[in-house]
Amino acid sequence: MKRFLFVLSFLLTLSFAAQGQLRWDHGNILRGDKVLSEQEILDAIGNEVYEETYVGALRQRNSGLGLVISGGVVSAAGLGAYVGSLVSLGKGNRAALPLTALGIGTLAAGTTLLSVGIPLLVIGNKRLHWVVDNANQQPMIITPAPSGVGLCLNF
């Protein structure tokens, strides 16, 4: 009976500890299924990590995401202009030569945006994962709970 109670209490402790773990999921830091606000993130990771790493990493990730999206759109437009000009040139239309140059230039600009945005996005995501992993490695986390204060021990 004592062994059963010990195992039961151990499993309950593990389930409560898992609820206190942070995780990074598509632009949000979550505890359990709850998306944390900026103040809750600050409380969870600490002021030093928040100011030195989290803010910069989030800005880096968002900049990379914007560059990747805009680079994809610009590249697609450039590729469309280039292919359209090749079709026109194939039909003997010499007036499409400037469109060919425009398509190549636009495609080059889009590729440049992608080549800058992808590393920013990847590095920003890795830094944000580090912030979450670092916060989860703290030996003890005290968090507000609906009925008062929750204590999470990581072991």
Task: Give residue-wise pLDDT tens across range 53-73.
Answer: 999 999 999 999 999 999 999
CB count in 10 Å sphere of residue 137 = 8
Tokens at 124, concatenated: 């920003």
Residue 15 pLDDT > 60: no
Query: Which has more confidence, 67 or 97?
Result: 67
Tokens at 153, concatenated: 């021990």
Tokens at 9, concatenated: 């209490």
Q: Report residue 41's pLDDT band, with 50, 70 and 90 as the boundaries.
A: confident
> Chain-wide mean pLDDT for the chain?
83
DSSP 3-state assignment of 24? strand
CA distance linking residue 106 with residue 103, whole number of Å: 5
Highest mean pLDDT among 26-35, 83-92, 124-133: 124-133
Phi-psi region of 32 (alpha: psi -120 to 50; beta: other; left: phi over 0): left
DSSP 3-state assignment of 34? strand
CA distance linking residue 41 with residue 19, whole number of Å: 15
Which whole number is the average pLDDT over 35-45? 87
Give all strands (DSSP E) within the chain, no chain letters: 22-25, 28-31, 34-35, 140-145, 148-153
